[in-house]
Amino acid sequence: MDGSMSPLMREASLLGEDGGSAAAEAAWHGLFWLVFANAVGVLLAVLLLAPGLNRLLGEWTYGRWVMVHMNLELYGWTSVPMAGFLFRAYGAERGPLARWRRPVLWVWSAALGVGALSWLSGHSSGKLFLDWSGYARVLFAAALLILWALLAMALVWNRRAGARASAAAWAAKVAGLLLLLAVPFLIYRAASPGIYPAVNPDTGGPTGTSQLESSLAVVAILLVLPLGLTRRKRASARVVAMGWAVLAAESLLCAVLSRGNVSHRLPVQYLSLGSLLAWLPLLPAYYAAFAWHPATRLWRRAMLWWWAALVVTGWILFLPGVLDHFKFTDGLVGHSFVAMAGFTSSLIVFVLVELLGEDAWIFNRARSFYLWHGSVIAYIVLMTAAGWREGFDPAFTMVPGPERNTLYALRLVSGVLMLAASLDWLVDATKLLRGQPPAWLDVALEKTA
Amino acid sequence: MPHAKERMAGWRGAVLVAVTYIYFLIFAQFGFLARLASLGIADQPLKAVLAAMALGGAALSLAMPRLRRWNLPDARLRAGLIVCAAAALLSLLPLDVAGATAVSLAIGAGLGVVTVTLATHLRRWTGSGDALWMAGLGTGVGYLVCNAPALFNAPARVQALTAALLCLAGAAITLLPAQPAAEPRPASRRDGLPFGYALGCFAALVWLDSAAFFIIQHTPFLKAGTWAGALHLSADGLLHLAAALAAVWLLRRRGLPLVLGAAFAALGGACLLLLDAERIALASALYPVGVSLYSVALVAYPSVLAPAATAAERGRRAGWVYAVAGWAGSAMGIGMAQNLGHVPPGFVLAAGVVVLGPWLARLLARRRREATLTAAVMLAAFCVDRMLPGEKAEAPQSAVERGRQVYIAEGCIHCHSQYVRPGSPDVTMWGPATNLEALRRQQPPLIGNRRQGPDLSAVGGRRSPLWLKAHFYDPAEVSGSSIMPSFAFLFSDRRGDDLVAYLASLHSAGTAQHLAEERLWRPSSAAVARASAAEGERLFLRNCATCHAGNGRTRQRWRTEFKGLPPNLSDRPFAYLPPHESPEEDLIRLEQIVKFGIYRTDMPGHEYLPDEQVVSLSLWLTQMKAQPLENR
């Protein structure tokens, strides 16, 4: 640890003697990719306004950069930090295996770097969010396997070291480990061009069944997360049980739905997707049943609000007429921002804040919090407006005009603001890892003390 | 941080640095070469003349610090500047090879004296001012002046005269009484680099710079893309100045290694970008940044940053830096550029190892476990990838299959869908509804999820291969306000033709039925009411004139490849309008042609135009038909 950390800070900090906690390391890698992907997003927004600049990029034109942007947001920012959660859940953040956390994160980041170069070099499977192909595809799967191996060894080591946990907890961890083992192979397999999910014949997009399936997978993750992060409050067993019961019921419903190419116009499709609305009250109640670190308050609220927005707008956008209007438009780009920049980002930061505890100041500064959310909301409003216009006139965003250009210029501004907020987090995360927190934090801690 | 007044106290130092750079850049490296060319000195004699300059420079750089006599900094610098000025003036004479060699030797010798003396005693002329700041300011201003269009584009004789006058002005400045020098700032841990390492870094950077400079100077299209035009030159000058000031800030805040690393990133990047004609503009932005970053360090390191117990020691180090890195590095760079015509990526990598090597070595030593595991996993993944049969065994064979891979590689899917939704406005615009069964047989289906451009599922029925090719070359030329990037680079090999073959193969099963439906299409009555022929003329110029005007760019460029040369609508009949039809029927047919094009010809549709514009354009075309321009 650096000598610049005051005794008060040192006492409050969770950073280990080896220079950084598992969460701080995972946060740094995730934030690095967030900043990188956001910078690429800004580049894309610039290119849509000034397509002549593509000339400067040689063969690395717009389409190749979109792959880099989308995949690094998904496999970088929204995935790497979850390794911090897994390190905590499987006890890999302490003991002799803790020193392998950082190498595992390096391997993951190296795989992302190789992936970015491979997309820029024109290697892709042609599948959105599954563009892995060739060497990069194998390397990414290998990076996930290495993470899994560390978690498995940590579990075994903790068991041998006599770590205290109930039989149910051990069983859950083993079951989770088996599920995690499937992930690298599933991603490798899913990136194959020969596999494609069911298609909604009226839109060319996913069916209601597919969307329900993926949403329930997210719900399952949301229900599991508190179990690995904190402890349940007393007298909250009913709410927790209800959460799992509703998930089971919805999974049963999903299981009986058609897996074929079915239209969103079938009432059973949009009504079954509407069953997700049950999670509007249920998820906040479920999360209220757990004891969270006080520092999580801001981001937990944000996550739950974004969740509500995602469920409601997701369902509305799937309804007949609405989906027909917005399909292939910027309106759905706006919705993907509700999902990724709004909900998922808030969830990731909330988890990191819980893991970081007193070191969570890096995410709790008011300026970056409001900058991020304000610019994300602005982006969503702008894209929804563009999508609304585009629904009536598909050429609206293809042919530059004053209205389209104004919306896209404002979109660029909001993108720059998002980049600024993410950069703020990355700078603070770097300071945290170096043991150089800002002076104001010491003052704040003294006041609290 | 020093106040502005204190900073400017050392203005003499900044001026002397600027004068030295201006003399070296605009005269020794540039104007003198032009003068030699005008004297007919080329090939081997030219090499001999330039070798004399390098020899003079290196010899005096090494000799000056060791010369015990006449150890008066002002006098030495003054003498060096006077020699430089004299050499510049002598270069205006009608010299033969021997005379030019002598002048070249004098230029090198003068510069050798000036650079080493200035670096050794810079604080003498910066006085109580901030020496680092003055070194940066002088460097930045030097480059800014050299890039001033009036000087850069001036004849060689004007450049020589300017250089000589500035040297004489510099010599005059040395006559002013010396000010007490400021206390040198304590050497930073970051700046205390091993001397050999610093020397290697500077040599690698000068080598890269000289090679890139020579290549740009001797390649007309590179020169046109980097140094052509007053605006471009001014922008380059400002970039130099900004980078020089940034170098000062970085040297103060982050130390020498970071500045050298950043300079390598910019210069190495520029050298790699110069390999591709498409990326010249980006290279031209990186090059001045890299040059100015290291040029400030080249002055600041021996004069301010490197710790030295005595002036003699400082002088000896400066001598080695300018002899080895400056003169030898420059000669090697020019030699490489002359022999190879480009900077090989392998050399850029080698320079990177020199500049970043110690930093990387330190990082790897600190993070041995991380580096080892990452390397092991990458190697293992490489072996597994080699062993897996996967999709590699099924490499596409036909042009259409290869073109589909190009479509995927370029990320076309991120702007173009391949799904026409049944019963939606898509059908009118882009063709028959997609057959889902046929689509699912594709691996993978390329449906996409966002349209920044039109749907392409039936583009083969709407656009001819020639149109597609012309559009890839220059989208905006063919399609008025297209926002698509140019993909001309694909035609440097077979990828472009493969992609065209793939797109031309995209047809839908219901094309015949769809063509019949197109004949039934009519614009809305509201659009008809709002349309105007005057607007049509504007639209014609933006969308149609490129093919249908006598001097249209697309028409001229692809003249020999059209199935039939598009008629010049100002004087040719409208061949696709059936004869003996009423004006109303003509108008409707024209509207359909404007919107959907003419099947199996090079005439494209303009599906993206609103009905009002389609009618406006057709109205104007109707007027043209009735009264061709040449008869008006």
**Phi, psi at A232, each rounded to 5°:** -80, 145
A74 CB burial (10 A radius; 0-12, 13-18, 19+):
middle
Residue B389 within a domain? no
Q: Domain check: are B530 and B406 in the same one?
A: no
Please say if the pLDDT value at position A2 is more than 70. Answer: no
- b/e burial code for range B87-126 (CB count within 10 A of at least 16 → b): bbbbbeeebebebbbbbbbbbbbbbbbbbbbbbbbbbbbb
Q: Is B413 on the interface with A (CB under 8 A)?
A: yes
Please say if the pLDDT value at position B6 is more than 70. Answer: no
Per residue in B398-432, pLDDT tens? 999 999 999 999 999 999 999 999 989 899 889 89
For residue B127, name the pLDDT band (cuts at 50, 70, 90): confident
Q: How far apart are CA A42 and CA B60, in angstroms?
A: 52
Please say if the pLDDT value at position B191 is more than 60. Answer: no
Q: How far apart are CA A73 and CA A79, in angstroms?
A: 8
Helices (runs of H) and strands (runs of E) counted in chain A = 18, 0
Please say if the pLDDT value at position B576 is more than 80. Answer: no
The CATH number linked to B125 is 1.20.1250.20
Residue B482 Rama label (left phi>0; alpha psi -120 to 50; beta)? beta
Q: Domain check: are B477 and B541 in the same one?
A: no
Residue B449 within a domain? yes
Residue B391 within a domain? no
Of the spans A102-111, B69-78, B538-547, which averages the highest pLDDT?
A102-111
The mean pLDDT value for A125-140 works out to 94
The CATH number linked to B310 is 1.20.1250
Q: Domain check: are B443 and B532 in the same one?
A: no
For residue B1, name the pLDDT band (cuts at 50, 70, 90): very low
Higher pLDDT: B594 or A9? It is B594
**Phi, psi at B176, each rounded to 5°:** -65, 150
Residue B390 within a domain? no
3-state secondary structure of B494: coil
Q: How far apart are CA B357 and CA B630, in angstroms?
A: 71
Q: What are the beta bridge partners of residue A232?
A: A290
Q: Domain check: are B236 and B322 in the same one?
A: yes
Per residue in B133-178, pLDDT tens? 999 999 999 999 999 999 999 999 999 999 999 999 999 998 887 7
Q: Is B608 on the interface with A (CB under 8 A)?
A: yes
The pLDDT score that the predictor gives to residue B514 is 86
Please say if the pLDDT value at position B189 is more than 60. Answer: no
Cβ atoms of B563 and B466 within 8 Å: the answer is yes
Q: Domain check: are B7 and B149 in the same one?
A: yes
Q: How far apart are CA A102 and CA A106, in angstroms?
A: 6
Higher pLDDT: B587 or A371? It is A371
The pLDDT score that the predictor gives to residue B108 is 95
B626 CB burial (10 A radius; 0-12, 13-18, 19+):
exposed
Q: Domain of B433?
A: 397-513
The pLDDT score that the predictor gives to residue B511 is 83
The pLDDT score that the predictor gives to residue A286 is 97
Q: Is B367 on the interface with A (CB under 8 A)?
A: yes
State the first-to-last Cα distance of chain B, in angstroms, to the nearest integer: 74
The mean pLDDT value for A321-342 works out to 96
Q: Look up the pTM and report it.
A: 0.84
Count chain A–chain B contacts defined by CB atoms under 8 A. 183
Q: How far apart are CA B258 and CA B251, in angstroms?
A: 8
Cβ atoms of A355 and A228 within 8 Å: the answer is no
Q: How far apart are CA B459 and CA B189, in angstroms?
A: 64
Please say if the pLDDT value at position A322 is more than 90. Answer: yes
Q: Is A393 on the interface with B (CB under 8 A)?
A: yes
Q: Is B371 on the interface with A (CB under 8 A)?
A: yes
This complex has an ipTM of: 0.93
State the first-to-last Cα distance of chain A, in angstroms, to the nearest integer: 22
DSSP B72: -
Higher pLDDT: B526 or B5? It is B526
Residue B413 within a domain? yes
Using a CB-CB distance cutoff of 8 angstroms, which residues of chain B are in contact with residue A59?
276, 278, 489
CB contact under 8 A, B449 and A128: yes
For residue A18, name the pLDDT band (cuts at 50, 70, 90): very low
* Token duo for residue A41: 């997003």
Number of Cβ within 10 Å of residue A168's Cβ equals 8
Q: Is A405 on the interface with B (CB under 8 A)?
A: no
For residue A392, name the pLDDT band (cuts at 50, 70, 90): very high
Q: Domain check: are B461 and B363 in the same one?
A: no
Domain boundary among B119, B150, B183: B183
Query: Nearest by CB to B436, which of A119, A138, A199?
Result: A199
Of A116, A163, A67, give the one whose Cα is nearest residue B414: A67
The pLDDT score that the predictor gives to residue B192 is 63
Higher pLDDT: A420 or B65? It is A420
Helices (runs of H) and strands (runs of E) counted in chain B = 33, 0
3-state secondary structure of A290: strand
Number of Cβ within 10 Å of residue B73's Cβ equals 18
For residue B528, name the pLDDT band (cuts at 50, 70, 90): very high
Domain boundary among B489, B513, B537: B513
Alpha carbon dihedral B385, B389, B394, B395, in 10-degree steps, equals 30
Per residue in B20-37, pLDDT tens? 999 999 999 889 999 999
The mean pLDDT value for B349-359 works out to 90
Please say if the pLDDT value at position A94 is more than 90. Answer: no
CB contact under 8 A, B276 and A58: yes
The CATH number linked to B525 is 1.10.760
Residue B529 within a domain? yes
3-state secondary structure of A250: helix
Domain boundary among B137, B154, B183: B183
Q: What are the beta bridge partners of residue A290?
A: A232
For residue B227, name the pLDDT band (cuts at 50, 70, 90): confident
CB contact under 8 A, B381 and A138: yes
Distance from CA of A361 to the nearest CA of B (A): 26
Please say if the pLDDT value at position A40 is more than 70. Answer: yes
Please tell me whether the peptide bond between A294 and the residue prior to it is cis, using omega within 30 degrees of 0.
no
Per residue in B285-327, pLDDT tens? 899 999 999 999 999 999 988 888 888 888 999 999 999 999 9
Per residue in A179-225, pLDDT tens? 999 999 999 999 998 899 999 999 999 999 999 999 999 999 999 99
Flag the least confident range among A433-437, B206-210, B555-559: A433-437
The mean pLDDT value for A301-312 works out to 97
The pLDDT score that the predictor gives to residue A17 is 45
Higher pLDDT: B144 or A167? It is B144
Number of Cβ within 10 Å of residue B324's Cβ equals 18
Distance from CA of A329 to the nearest CA of B (A): 6
The pLDDT score that the predictor gives to residue B629 is 55
The CATH number linked to B501 is 1.10.760.10
3-state secondary structure B87-113: HHHHCCCCCCHHHHHHHHHHHHHHHHH
- Please give the single-letter amino acid code of residue A79: S
The pLDDT score that the predictor gives to residue B501 is 97
Q: How far apart are CA A392 and CA A372, in angstroms?
A: 31
The pLDDT score that the predictor gives to residue B595 is 92
Mutate to test the interface with B, among A106, A153, A192 (most CBs of B within 10 A): A106
Q: Domain check: are B51 and B94 in the same one?
A: yes
Q: Is A64 on the interface with B (CB under 8 A)?
A: yes
Helices (H), A327-438: 330-337, 345-356, 366-392, 402-434
The pLDDT score that the predictor gives to residue A1 is 36
Q: Domain check: are B179 and B191 in the same one?
A: no
Residue B173 within a domain? yes
Q: Domain check: are B164 and B207 in the same one?
A: no
Please say if the pLDDT value at position A242 is more than 90. Answer: yes
Q: Domain check: are B467 and B480 in the same one?
A: yes
Concatenating the DSSP letter of every residue in B118-141 gives HHHTHHHHHTTS-HHHHHHHHHHH
Query: In Å, what is the CA distance from B288 to each residue of B242, B263, B284?
Result: 10, 10, 7
CB contact under 8 A, A55 and B278: yes
Q: Is A281 on the interface with B (CB under 8 A)?
A: no
Cβ atoms of B287 and B212 within 8 Å: the answer is yes
Mean confidence (pLDDT) of chain B: 88
DSSP A232: B
Using a CB-CB distance cutoff of 8 angstroms, which residues of chain B are in contact with residue A330?
450
Q: Domain check: are B491 and B560 in the same one?
A: no
**Phi, psi at B561, each rounded to 5°:** -110, -5
The pLDDT score that the predictor gives to residue A3 is 41
Please say if the pLDDT value at position A12 is more than 60. Answer: no
Using a CB-CB distance cutoff of 8 angstroms, which residues of chain A are in contact with residue B373?
100, 103-104, 106-107, 146
Number of Cβ within 10 Å of residue A394's Cβ equals 20
The pLDDT score that the predictor gives to residue B391 is 58
Cβ atoms of B381 and A135 within 8 Å: the answer is yes
> Domains in chain A, please, with CATH?
8-199 (1.20.210.10)
- Closest-CA residue of A relative to B376 is A107
Distance from CA of A206 to the nearest CA of B (A): 10
* Token duo for residue B607: 């599906």
CB contact under 8 A, B417 and A204: yes
**Phi, psi at B158, each rounded to 5°:** -65, -40
Q: What angle do CA A202, B446, A251 make, to 5 degrees?
A: 55
The pLDDT score that the predictor gives to residue B597 is 92
* Token duo for residue A230: 């904190």
Q: Domain check: are B434 and B581 in the same one?
A: no
Per residue in B453-491, pLDDT tens? 999 999 999 999 999 999 999 999 998 889 999 999 999
Residue B236 within a domain? yes
Flag the least confident range among A338-347, A394-403, B173-182: B173-182
Cβ atoms of B588 and B522 within 8 Å: the answer is yes
For residue B10, name the pLDDT band (cuts at 50, 70, 90): confident
Total domain count, chain B: 4
Residues 386-405 of B with CB under 8 A from A: 388, 391-392
